[in-house]
Amino acid sequence: MANPIRGMVLSFLVVGAVIATIMILAYRPAPPRIKAIDYGPALNSARATGAFPVAAPVSVPAGWQATSVRYVPSALDPKIATWHLGFITPTEQYAAVDQSNGSDPKFVKDATAQGRKAGIQQIGDTTWTQYEAASGGNRSLVSKTGPITTVVTGTLSYDQLAAFSQSLRAT
């Protein structure tokens, strides 16, 4: 009687070891969904040394997390640059501000995800042109003040983008 029980226990151990090995080898932890960043240092640096006064929100709604920031001077002319600051909302919507003081027509196309003009929107004293991308649900508001083009873009509604644009201050 000891042999059948011993054989059964050994079989369970072998099967358990095989299952444990498969689970260990196949386990893939889920990557973090959102990597929040501190955009303060990049903002301070861009404002201190930048080619133009970059815009950033005075404050953002609760739960918004900055996910991307970059200030890129032109390789050909350091007086020309682009600025980008992106956020994810608690409902996983995206909002960003992009700016440039250059004259490259690709800037607006890239920042609006190849969007097409969809209308005009007055926000405070500024007239913004609405853009809508053909896919992805991106909407954008574009304004030009002197040499600086500002694009407020994302998957939010135009009203939400307008509220975001009103929180921006350039210094």
| Predicted local distance difference test score (pLDDT) of residue 32 | 64
* Contacts (Cβ under 8 Å, ≥6 apart) of 112: 131, 133, 138, 140, 142, 151, 153
| Predicted local distance difference test score (pLDDT) of residue 149 | 97
Token pair for 53: 């006064």
Pairing assessment for the beta strands 81-88 and 94-100 based on DSSP bridges:
antiparallel
Cα R_g (the chain), whole angstroms: 25
The SS3 of residue 125 is coil
Task: Please state which of the four CATH numbers 3.40.50.2300, 3.40.50.720, 1.50.10.10, 3.30.200.100 is assigned to the domain occupying 40-170.
Answer: 3.30.200.100
Across the 171 residues of the chain, what is the mean pLDDT of every consecutive 10-residue run?
A: 75 85 80 83 92 94 95 91 96 96 92 96 95 92 96 97 95 85
